[in-house]
Amino acid sequence: MIEKIEEIYSSFKNELNALSKQAEVLNLKAAILGKKGSLSEILKGLKDASPEERQKIGPVSNEIKKSIERDIIDKLKAIEFDEINEKLEKNRTDFSLRDSLRELGLQGGGLHPTHQIQREIEDVFLSMGFEVLDGPHIEDEYHNFEALNIPETHPARDMQDTFWFADKKHLLRTHTSTIQIRGMKERKPPFAFVGPGKVFRSERTDTTHEMAFHQLEGMMVGEKINTGHLIYFMKTLLKAIFKKDMEVRLRPGYFPFVEPGFELDIRWKKPDPKDESARHSGWLELLPCGMVHPNVLKAGGVDPEKYSGFAFGLGLDRLVMVNYAIEDIRLLHRGDLRFNKQFASF
Amino acid sequence: MLISLDWIKDFTEVPNINIHDIANDFTMKTAEVEEVKKLNEHLKVIVVAEIVSLKKHPEADRLNLVTFNYGEKEFKEVVCGAPNLEVGQKVPYAKLGTTLPNGITLEPKKIRGYLSEGMLCSATELGLGEDSKGLLQLGKAAVVGQTMLEHLELNQDYLIDVDNKSLTHRPDLWGMYGIAREFAAIYHKPLKNPFDDKWKEKLEKNFTKDKSPISPKVESDSSCLSFWGLSVDGVQVGPSPKWIQDRLIAVGLRPINNIVDISNYVMMELGLPLHIYDRELIGDNTIHIKRLGQNDVFETLDEIKRDLISTDTVICDSQKPLVLAGIMGGANSGVRDETTKIFIEVANWKPEEVRRTSVRLGLRTDSSARYEKSLDSKMTYRTLLRTLELVKELCPEAYVVGKAEYDGLDLSKIPALQIQTSVQYINRILGTELERKEIVSILESLDFKVENSKNDELQIIVPSYRATKDIEGAHDIVEEIGRIIGYETIPVASPKLEVKPITLTAYKNVERKVQDYFSLHANSYEIMTYPLVGEKLLEKAHWSDLNNELVLVNALSQEADRMRPSLLPSLIEAASVNTKNFESFRFFEWGRTYHPTGDEKFFHEKNMVGVCFYSKEKSTFLELLNSVENFLNYVGINFKFQNFCSSKFKNDYIAEDWNGLHPYEKQEIIIRGKVKGALTTIHPLVCRDFKIKGNLSIALIDLTEFTSAEIKKSQSYTPLPKFPAASFDCTVLVEKNKPVASVFDIQKKLKIKDLESMKVVQVFSLNEEHNAVTIRFVYQDPSKTLEPAIIKGYEDKCVATLADFGYSLKV
């Protein structure tokens, strides 16, 4: 009897292997395990067997029955899997053609390069406790000149080619230093802020001159703020922008709103040691700065006897231009997306 | 400003170090050096040549082929266009490779088929004069083969060119003596003072007891601060000696005659301009300094007629103006070849007046450039005596008639500027730990006097020539110390400050949200357009508001002569730049628009976002509308869209009658009950004027009110439902001429408290008249599972309400 059972199992295995449809498998299952199935039929004969035989056959037949059931389930799973895969095969999509390979017009997006650098610098200063302020583009003489220690008769007004409105009182701000005055008046020392924004000069435009460009003003006022602190913040700023320690030099520079006033240059190129006439070259004038003039502190409502502070101005477009070696400053305002897309965020 | 190192050496010792190091030291401690020049470098290689033969160029009448001997074995030949050629002439020859003062380096060149090796030069080409008509004639005595440097007996001076802008605040540095003082301080060398009391007494011996022929009279309301006049007779006008000419040429001035050259020389040396008159041209020996009193035309010595106004200060004789004060002399009173009697004027003028007149006339001279920087009246007498000294040296026959005559401020009453400060203050501002003696030594090297006072206190007397404007207070003293010790010596450190939290301002917050949303979520590029626009652009965009109240008086061009009233015209223009390069694109600008207020306040700035979506193929309006909706939700602004001008307020952003408005694709943005923006597809007619083909949609959103106050974004939470929701889909017919979203009109009438949402699932075109629109209603009772009967009731109500609005079920 055991032989017969084993024979049934092996022939079942053969038949099962050949099947590929769910119904056929279920039919086969019925043909073996069903009421009139071949295994059931054989097991019916068990009642005539001796107790020893029964004891021997019982576990074997159960084992085989379980194996058959398991094989059936596995087979059904395999068939379903194949069926699904077949469907997937039919619905297969071609993913080779990614958007970046297709002509979909202009893709991606991103900030204007000047604003990217502006935000980077804002974040550096925010992290060091500076607020970020701005002010109006149309200004009056007081905020643009007088409060900044540039009275009407001052020759420095020649240095600033100012756009004037017909009332001769209002103008387009020529520097972000106007933000200093408003910033000081609204605060009590100690305080620190930066002020990025658009400024305007009535200058003939060419590849390096623009009538509208961007500056970032900075100011820190407190009881013991000194020149060494100014250099510290400038070096920190430059490291954040250029991602490395920058060699800087501070030399006298004249700006009416600071005293002492400095020009901060960065080492941009190492000079050729063989070229004697170039031994002090390779510096790039980048940051006018200085200790805030007492008259400016007074205009901002700060007592110059008690407090001191530093201020600096940074040309943002200039920075963008040197950073990316952009040859024409006018590209920044042209809105030509062939330019802007080169600074895409994604 | 050109500094002659040779001249500086008259007054102080210059260390024997590389010239570029000297220039760098000056840059680091005083003012920016732009360039170092070795004077006459080219004259070292240009040699004396003698013309041997001449023949006409066969191809060109005006050109000659010139053969010459220049001291080498072989003769050379060049093609030359000069008119004054003769065999035997001695002329300068510049070989190939020579760099001329105009910057041109000579290279082999064929002129009409003939190779020309170098060139024979005119005076202009060598930088030796203004005669460019023919070759410079060197005379029979010139030695062939000798360099021009040898021939002219010139020495090789170094010139340091300092950026004039960096000297704006330093009137004392507009002469060599002042510069020499800086050198002395930088290199710790003594400064010679040839102008001491003994020198003064020696020169004053030239004065006589005679009555001075002219005594100047200064009107106190004029721009004159001080005025010295001195009459000298027996002068003989002629060329000045070579050493004066050389120095003047070196610093960029043209020698004219000994008297004019003296006035220039003294100005370049001591920094104070002066003027010398032919005394015989002064009517009635009268010198009267006053305001002109009436508008008049005055011919300056450059022979240009200038329009003077009544308030200009002039120096007059008995009838007429002779000199425009502080700026330029007249054509009628200058020194002539036959002049023998002169009148020397050394004066000082109010800087702002000189500046105002010179700016108005567009006439900037060496003199006005100096006066407008605030010169020191106390230096006038020294300058007068130095002038006299040179006149006597150059014209030994000359003699003073009378004495120096003065009018103006009482010079003895100009108080010395004293500054009270302390060692501690200087160290506090610089962040240094300097000793008192270092500070005092630096100040003294710069001619400041420090009075003996207590240890920390510094009582400083400022030299008068630094006190006119430059030095005002203790902060200026800090600069003097800082620059001479060298800013590189200052210890760099972080301040110790209280830690305070910093937040972004409302303005920055909005700005960053605009930038982030549109660049990262709306796939757009941020651009910038000019805040300045021109009438032409506005008219091209059919824009009727020309913002005429905000026009600049000194615009650079008509294309940028006024503030923009809207971003729209500039955005369309920017779009037109890109349509030829891209099938589709999106960009935005976060920028301001400017509006007149018509009152004291003058203007008002709005912070606007302009967004542009373009596609050659299909309409971009819906995409833009979705983007703007998402953006406003992202920022947290409650808003609604509505049809154009359906409220009583007019749209300030796009006028209802603007030609660029699309007849259908347009919406207004309502924020807090006010119109705060608009979206439209730009009308093809306006697009056509910008040569744009395709679909361009633009949104304008005014965010001004959100840049001054923080936006409170309402965010709330409801617990997740514990009971199942029920949903119901139904498909209704909507006429094709009706917007699909009008099915949502039923919401006003549909009063179902458990209605969670109503959304359109699908729209398909059923036939020519109708779309079939599938709508899904979701019902949810938070407190229990909805019973089938209630759900059925809701469904019936939805269907009935749809039917009431004319939307019948699709069967």
What's the confidence (pLDDT) of residue B150? 87
| Residue B681 pLDDT exceeds 70 | yes
What's the confidence (pLDDT) of residue A155? 66
Domain range annotation of chain B:
2-39+158-186, 41-152, 211-410, 417-487, 506-706, 726-804
Mean pLDDT of B259-265: 97
Q: What pTM, to 2 d.p., does this model score? A: 0.85
Residue B223 backbone class (left: φ over 0; alpha: ψ -120 to 50; beta: rest): alpha
> Has domain B211-410 been given CATH number 3.50.40.10?
yes
The answer to whether the B41-152 and B726-804 domains have the same CATH topology is no
pLDDT in tens, B361-379: 999 999 999 999 999 999 9
Of A298-312, B86-100, B615-629, least confident by mean pLDDT is B86-100
Residue A222: CA count within 13 A, CB half-sphere: 18
Residue B650: pLDDT band with limits 50, 70, 90: confident
* B41-152 fold: OB fold (Dihydrolipoamide Acetyltransferase, E2P) (2.40.50)
CA angle A57, A61, A64 (to 5 degrees): 145
Residue B513 CB partners (closer than 8 Å, separation 6+):
B634, B635
B587 has a chain A CB within 8 A of its CB: yes
* Chain A residues whose beta carbon lies within 8 Å of the beta carbon of residue B368: none
What percent of chain B is predicted at pLDDT more than 90? Answer: 82
DSSP notation for B696-756: EEEEEEE-GGGTTS---------PPPSS--EEEEEEEEEETTS-GGGGGGGGGT---TTEE
C-beta of residue B70 within 8 angstroms of C-beta of residue B93: yes
What's the confidence (pLDDT) of residue B543? 97
- Residues B493, A137: C-beta atoms closer than 8 Å: no
pLDDT in tens, A48-101: 888 888 888 888 888 888 999 999 999 999 999 999 999 999 999 999 999 989
What's the confidence (pLDDT) of residue A60? 83
* Chain A residues whose beta carbon lies within 8 Å of the beta carbon of residue B431: 226-229
pLDDT in tens, A191-230: 999 999 999 999 889 999 999 999 999 999 999 999 999 9
CB burial readout B390-418, b (16+ within 10 A) else e: bbbebbeebebbbbbbbbbbebeebeebe
Domain range annotation of chain A:
2-90, 113-343
What's the confidence (pLDDT) of residue A275? 84
Name the nearest CA neighbour of B273 among B264, B281, B282. Answer: B264
Mean pLDDT of B285-301: 95
Residue A203 CB partners (closer than 8 Å, separation 6+):
A161, A209, A210, A211, B556
Give CA separation, B595 vs B601, B603, B606, in Å: 11, 5, 8
Q: In what order do the strands lie in the sheet with B457-462?
A: B417-422, B457-462, B449-451
Residue B581 CB partners (closer than 8 Å, separation 6+):
A336, A337, A338
| Residue A9 pLDDT exceeds 70 | yes
What's the confidence (pLDDT) of residue B382? 97
Burial of residue B452, with CB atoms counted within 10 A of its CB: 0-12 exposed, 13-18 middle, 19 or more buried: exposed
- Residues A232, B505: C-beta atoms closer than 8 Å: no
Name the nearest CA neighbour of B778 among B723, B725, B736. Answer: B725
| Residue B692 pLDDT exceeds 80 | yes
**Chains A, B: CB pairs < 8 Å:** 259
For the domain made up of B726-804, the CATH class stated in words is alpha beta
What's the confidence (pLDDT) of residue A156? 67
For the domain made up of B417-487, the CATH class stated in words is alpha beta
| Residue A158 pLDDT exceeds 70 | no
For the domain spanning A113-343, the CATH number is 3.30.930.10
* B506-706 fold: BirA Bifunctional Protein; domain 2 (3.30.930)
- Residues B431, A279: C-beta atoms closer than 8 Å: no
Residue B287: CA count within 13 A, CB half-sphere: 33
Name the nearest CA neighbour of B211 among B403, B408, B406. Answer: B403
| Dihedral (Cα; B54, B59, B63, B64), 10-degree rounding | -10
B576 has a chain A CB within 8 A of its CB: no
Residue B406 backbone class (left: φ over 0; alpha: ψ -120 to 50; beta: rest): beta
* CA B273/CA B377 separation, integer angstroms: 12
Which of A252, A334, A340 is nearest residue B525 as measured by Cβ atoms?
A340
| Residue B611 pLDDT exceeds 90 | yes
Name the nearest CA neighbour of B613 among B697, B540, B537. Answer: B697
| Residue B334 pLDDT exceeds 70 | yes
* CA B610/CA B591 separation, integer angstroms: 8
Mean pLDDT of A270-283: 86
C-beta of residue B247 within 8 angstroms of C-beta of residue B9: no
- Residues B355, A153: C-beta atoms closer than 8 Å: yes
C-beta of residue B218 within 8 angstroms of C-beta of residue B227: yes
Q: Give the gyration radius of chain B's Cα atoms.
A: 41
pLDDT in tens, B431-451: 999 999 999 999 999 999 999
| Residue B775 pLDDT exceeds 90 | yes
| Residue A159 pLDDT exceeds 70 | no
Residue B749 CB partners (closer than 8 Å, separation 6+):
B801, B804, B805
| Residue B236 pLDDT exceeds 90 | yes
B40, two tokens: 């006459």
pLDDT in tens, B122-173: 888 887 776 778 888 898 889 999 998 888 887 778 999 999 989 989 999 9
What's the confidence (pLDDT) of residue B768? 93
Highest mean pLDDT among B83-92, B495-504, B656-665: B656-665
A320, two tokens: 């963008």
> Has domain B2-39+158-186 been given CATH number 1.10.3720.10?
no
pLDDT in tens, B68-104: 999 888 898 888 888 888 899 999 999 888 888 777 8
- Residues A261, B532: C-beta atoms closer than 8 Å: no
- Residues B168, A254: C-beta atoms closer than 8 Å: yes
* CA B345/CA B367 separation, integer angstroms: 13
Burial of residue A240, with CB atoms counted within 10 A of its CB: 0-12 exposed, 13-18 middle, 19 or more buried: middle
Average pLDDT, chain B: 94
What's the confidence (pLDDT) of residue B388? 98
* Chain A residues whose beta carbon lies within 8 Å of the beta carbon of residue B580: none
Of A78-82, A312-316, B122-126, B350-354, least confident by mean pLDDT is B122-126
* CA A137/CA A37 separation, integer angstroms: 95
What's the confidence (pLDDT) of residue B25? 96
Average pLDDT, chain A: 92
The residue type found at B214 is I
